[in-house]
Amino acid sequence: MASITIRNLDDHLKHRLRVQAAQHGRSMEEEARDILRKAVGKPEVSANLGEAIHRRFAAVGGFELDLSPREPMPEPPHFD
């Protein structure tokens, strides 16, 4: 496992982390690990491509595509 050191941490922020850790019944170190896990953990992956595309464009209001006109299917070749 890797280790990191966080320098120049605001005293007020450190105090809030200590209080939050105490509320959750864990050490400040474990609380910081949990916060980091939630913040930069695995991204949510959608199994449905359509839903993923919808979420991507929902913020901009979506858009409509012009559909190409449909034409009749060509006749299959005859091998007589």
| Span 33-70, pLDDT tens digits | 999 998 898 776 767 888 888 888 887 877 778 888 99
Alpha helices in the chain (DSSP H): 11-24, 28-40, 49-58
- Cα separation, 73 vs 54, in Å, equals 31
Q: Is 32 exposed, middle or buried (0-12, 13-18, 19+ CB in 10 A)?
A: middle
4-18 pLDDT, tens digit each: 999 999 999 999 999
Domain spans in the chain, listed from the N-terminal domain onward: 11-58
Q: pTM of the full predicted structure?
A: 0.53
The encoded tokens of residue 73 equal 């299917």
